[in-house]
């Protein structure tokens, strides 16, 4: 959560529009309050507001409020906050100052020992104005400078005292031509131009300047300095301040500026829902062999024996990534016959799991690659001796670096807080993994080839599904939002159950209404009590071998006057046309295990249009952040 940005330039100019635009590109990390500090005319000036920068930071107004020099200035930092310590308010918004207002800090992460540090600083006479964990940092730097340290040494000594996670940027009037950054646990990188350096929590904030950057690893800091008409940088580590580290400049190839603009769509979420056919194609590209009917996953090549000998699989993830893992588990169990246990990461990291690390392998799935619970689960699993593999979207992210090996999801940047294209990309990887495990354990080449050939058709079928179902979905959401709907449940059987769970999660995230998800056969054991004319049951029931059982459950719901929406294929639709249900028809597939890839699309659209009809912000649903880097 939270996004930070810092700009230093030898060419004086008004940096406010640049900082604002970078903050807007970081909004997916948090947006409950926002702030900028600039060093201009020898003083640090700051503007903070409650709300997202795109709503509350018109650059011209902010420039006026900051009384920016006509000749421009060289140093600015900015922050998008997603409250963890202290509620979203003006006082708690970053940048935070020391007592004198000569040091400004922006911080992403959580300082676990902030209370102890604060007590010490208060005893020494420091006055705090916020309830954040961050504010200890500028005060500690101030204290250390009072004791005689330089800004740099005070900054690094302070970083060494902090427990928890941080990505920090610091400026001070004491050294007006310098910007310092340091990180541990939170992402931080910087892009280099001759006369400007921009540092940020994510490449999204940097891409409008350059697609080449240097990422910092944990305990590394960077010092940027204006020298003549250039800005220089030096990287070191917090444990060896004087050693200089040379790091290669990397080029961003997995996404571009186009990924972080709406590209003609009215929202990022809509763009991302409609990107799924091409994302799916990209994710599977070059990762299978049509001749052998096998998956070819380059990232796992050094671990072939471990994969072949695995007797059990454990998945760990949170939210949507967990739901994708549940679908993955069902696929692997049914195609490869390997038992799969799926754990929510916040549970796994604290629990005893009676599995043998010798022959159980772990798959950690995460879009951001930053989720604290998933990251800690991987670390804990490694401590216990498990081999860990990742299904991660963000290249080079903390979890991607932590796992022993993995397969990138290749979904590109996902900006909408509610995950859509990352989910189907994660599913794509799990289909390939299931084929790989199955081909090592009895699946024939013909079976593998048949599955792969149908996977190749999926992008076109996804396009058809989106085109054919959206209007119908809109009509249904208009009808149901106009009614007094009290209960909405998503139901299915087998591999469709986790898709129902993901549909319910999407619905909750976007509409702020409680939604349930159950195996359809379980309905009669309790949940049916909530069914009446003010309920909607969304049933995922392609015409598979359990269609008759599903139809029976559907009739039970109708007999209690419940409203029913069915997601089914052409044959299913034909079969149900006499029933008093709303049907959303998706294309017919040969392999029933592939239906999740199509079913989820109208369900994402359902949540999306329902939320729009309620007037909600679909890209930034309330209370949610895209990456949750705290417990
Ligand atoms: C947060 C987001 C969810 C996401 C989950 C896991 O809760 O709001 O949309 O599914 O984190 O995120 P990850 O980046 O690990 O996939």
- Per-residue pLDDT tens over the stretch 345-361: 999 999 988 889 999 99
Which domains, from first to last, does the chain contain?
A: 3-253 (3.60.20.10), 261-443 (3.40.50.10490), 461-624 (3.40.50.10490)
Residue 260 has pLDDT above 90, yes or no: no
Residues 111 and 133 sit within 8 Å (Cβ to Cβ): yes
| Residues 554, 34: Cα–Cα separation, whole Å | 49
Query: 419 CB less than 6 Å from ligand 1?
Result: yes
Residue 98 has pLDDT above 90, yes or no: yes
Query: 189 CB less than 6 Å from ligand 1?
Result: no
Residue 568 has pLDDT above 80, yes or no: yes
Residues 413 and 259 sit within 8 Å (Cβ to Cβ): yes
Mean of all residue pLDDT scores within the chain: 95
103 CA to centre of own chain = 32
Alpha carbon nearest to ligand 1 atom 8, residue: 626
- Report the share of the chain in percent with pLDDT over 70: 100
| Residues 38, 518: Cα–Cα separation, whole Å | 53
Nearest to 186 by CA among 592, 487, 627: 627
Residue 609 has pLDDT above 90, yes or no: yes
Written as six digits, the tokens of 187 are 């992402």
172 CA to centre of own chain = 33
End-to-end CA separation in angstroms for the chain: 11
Query: 630 CB less than 6 Å from ligand 1?
Result: no
Atom of ligand 1 nearest to the CA of 321: 16
Query: 469 CB less than 6 Å from ligand 1?
Result: no
The residues carrying an active-site annotation are 2, 626
Residues 27 and 79 sit within 8 Å (Cβ to Cβ): no
User: Which residues, listed in sequence order, are joined to residue 221 by a DSSP beta bridge?
Assistant: 182, 236
Angle at 101 between CA 219 and CA 185, to 5 degrees: 20
Nearest to 489 by CA among 557, 555, 556: 557
| Residues 173, 157: Cα–Cα separation, whole Å | 19
Distance 222 CA to ligand 1 centre (A): 29
DSSP 3-state of 14:
coil
pLDDT tier at 433, thresholds 50, 70, 90: very high
Q: Going by DSSP bridges, is the β-strand pair 43-50/33-40 parallel, antiparallel, or unpaired? A: antiparallel
Query: 92 CB less than 6 Å from ligand 1?
Result: no
pLDDT tier at 396, thresholds 50, 70, 90: confident
Residues 399 and 189 sit within 8 Å (Cβ to Cβ): no
| Residues 5, 22: Cα–Cα separation, whole Å | 7
Atom of ligand 1 nearest to the CA of 625: 8
pTM over 0.95: no
As a residue count, the chain comes to: 631
* Angle subtended by helix axes 319-336 and 421-439, to nearest 10: 20
* Angle subtended by helix axes 421-439 and 596-613, to nearest 10: 170
15 CA to centre of own chain = 28
Distance 592 CA to ligand 1 centre (A): 28
DSSP 3-state of 75:
strand
Distance 418 CA to ligand 1 centre (A): 8
Distance 498 CA to ligand 1 centre (A): 16
Distance 51 CA to ligand 1 centre (A): 21
Atom of ligand 1 nearest to the CA of 505: 9
Residue 275 has pLDDT above 90, yes or no: yes
Q: Over the stretch 314-332, which tens digit does the pLDDT of each residue have?
A: 999 999 999 999 999 999 9
Atom of ligand 1 nearest to the CA of 419: 9
Atom of ligand 1 nearest to the CA of 318: 6
Mean pLDDT on 139-149: 98
Written as six digits, the tokens of 571 are 């044959």
Q: Work out the burial of residue 333: count CB atoms within 10 Å of its CB; fewer than 13 is exposed, 13-18 middle, 19 or more buried.
A: middle
Distance 628 CA to ligand 1 centre (A): 7
Q: Work out the burial of residue 51: count CB atoms within 10 Å of its CB; fewer than 13 is exposed, 13-18 middle, 19 or more buried.
A: middle
Q: Which residues contact 574 (CB under 8 A, 6 or more apart)?
A: none
Query: 558 CB less than 6 Å from ligand 1?
Result: no
User: Which residues, listed in sequence order, are joined to residue 620 by a DSSP beta bridge?
Assistant: none
Ligand 1 pocket test, candidate residues 368, 424, 502, 503, most atoms within 8 A of CB: 368
Per-residue model confidence (pLDDT) at position 626: 80
Query: 202 CB less than 6 Å from ligand 1?
Result: no
């Amino acid at each position: 959560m939270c996004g930070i940005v810092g700009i230093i330039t030898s060419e004086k100019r008004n940096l406010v529009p640049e900082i604002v635009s970078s903050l807007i590109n970081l909004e997916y990390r948090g947006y409950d309050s926002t702030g900028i500090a600039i060093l201009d005319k020898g003083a640090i000036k700051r503007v903070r507001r409650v709300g997202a920068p795109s709503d509350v930071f018109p650059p011209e107004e902010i420039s006026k409020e900051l009384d920016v020099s006509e000749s421009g200035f060289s140093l600015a930092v900015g922050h998008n906050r997603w409250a963890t310590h202290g509620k979203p308010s003006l006082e708690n918004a970053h940048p935070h100052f020391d007592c004198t207002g000569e040091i400004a800090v922006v911080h992403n992460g959580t300082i676990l020992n902030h209370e102890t540090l604060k007590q010490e600083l208060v005893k020494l006479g420091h006055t705090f104005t916020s309830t954040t964990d961050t504010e200890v940092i500028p005060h500690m730097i101030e204290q250390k400078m009072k004791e005689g340290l330089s800004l740099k040494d005070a900054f690094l000594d302070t970083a060494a005292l902090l427990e928890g996670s941080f990505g920090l940027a610091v400026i001070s009037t004491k050294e007006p031509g310098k910007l310092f950054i340091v990180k541990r646990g939170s992402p931080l990188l910087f892009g280099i131009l001759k006369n400007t350096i921009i540092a940020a929590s994510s490449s999204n904030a940097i891409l409008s300047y350059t697609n080449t950057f240097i990422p910092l690893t944990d305990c590394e800091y960077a010092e940027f300095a204006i020298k003549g008409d250039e800005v220089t940088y030096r990287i070191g580590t917090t444990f060896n301040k004087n050693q200089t580290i040379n790091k290669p400049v990397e080029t961003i190839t997995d996404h571009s500026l186009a990924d972080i603009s709406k590209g003609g769509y009215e929202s990022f979420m809509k763009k991302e829902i409609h990107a799924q056919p091409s994302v799916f194609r990209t994710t599977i590209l070059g990762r299978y062999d049509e001749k052998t009917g096998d998956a070819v996953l380059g990232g796992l090549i050094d671990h072939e024996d471990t994969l072949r000998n695995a007797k059990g699989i454990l998945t760990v993830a949170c939210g949507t990534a967990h739901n994708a893992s549940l679908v993955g588990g069902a696929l692997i169990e049914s195609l490869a016959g390997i038992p799969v246990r799926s754990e929510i990461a916040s549970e796994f990291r604290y629990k005893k799991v009676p599995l043998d690390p010798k022959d159980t392998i772990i798959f950690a799935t995460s879009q951001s690659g930053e989720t604290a619970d998933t990251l800690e689960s991987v670390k804990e699993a490694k401590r216990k001796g498990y081999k860990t593999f990742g299904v991660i979207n963000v290249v080079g992210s903390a979890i991607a670096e932590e796992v022993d090996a993995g397969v990138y999801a290749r979904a590109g940047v996902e900006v909408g807080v509610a995950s859509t294209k990352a989910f189907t990309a994660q599913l794509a990887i799990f289909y390939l993994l299931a084929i790989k495990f199955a081909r090592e354990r009895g699946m024939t080449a013909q079976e593998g080839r048949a599955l792969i050939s149908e996977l190749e058709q999926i992008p076109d079928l996804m396009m058809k599904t989106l085109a054919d179902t959206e209007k119908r979905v809109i009509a249904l959401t208009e009808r149901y939002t106009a009614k007094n709907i009290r209960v909405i449940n998503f139901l299915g059987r087998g591999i469709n159950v986790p898709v129902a769970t993901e549909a319910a999660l999407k619905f909750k995230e976007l509409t702020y209404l409680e939604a349930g998800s159950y195996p359809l056969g379980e309905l009669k054991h309790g949940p049916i009590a909530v069914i009446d004319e003010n309920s909607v049951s969304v049933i995922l029931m392609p015409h598979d071998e359990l269609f008759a059982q599903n139809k029976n459950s559907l009739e039970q719901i109708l007999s209690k006057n419940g409203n029913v929406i069915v997601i089914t294929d052409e044959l299913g639709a034909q079969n149900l046309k006499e029933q008093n249900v709303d049907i959303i028809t998706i294309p017919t597939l040969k392999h029933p295990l592939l239906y999740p890839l199509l079913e989820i699309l109208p369900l994402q659209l359902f949540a999306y249009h329902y939320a729009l009809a309620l007037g909600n912000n679909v890209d930034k649903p309330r209370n949610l952040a895209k990456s949750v880097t705290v417990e």
